[in-house]
Amino acid sequence: QVQLVESGGGSVQAGGSLRLSCAASGYTSSRYCMGWFRQAPGKEREGVATIDSDGSTTYEDSVRGRFTISKDNAKNTLYLQMNSLQPEDTAMYYCAARRPLWAEFCTRLVADFGYWGQGTQVTVSS
């Protein structure tokens, strides 16, 4: 059973930066598709960024150029570096892994991800 534990959320002012971390455990596969999602109050959960075991990444349009997803395979830890944060980035951020862990296309579709962390809150004030 894949387990995911996020950390690194907090409150920052617009223009600031945060780095989210997600410690992953419970799997042995070297192939994976993992990602970061967010959900603001009253809105649907949306995919922010994904990364697969080949190193390919995808980004939601509003974060491209500001956010960077990466994974340290030695530490089994997924990261999301968030720069130039804006109030509209305020949301609960979730780490997720695809179920099954790998597929030819690592998309940001919520329905493709079956393993989720508990979430970490990011609040950006203007």
Q: What is the pLDDT of residues 49-106, one digit of tens each?
A: 999 999 999 999 999 999 999 999 999 999 999 999 999 999 999 999 999 888 889 9
Distance CA 54, CA 99 (A): 17
Give one word for 118, left, alpha or beta, with left for phi > 0 and alpha for psi -120 to 50: alpha
Distance CA 51, CA 31 (A): 11
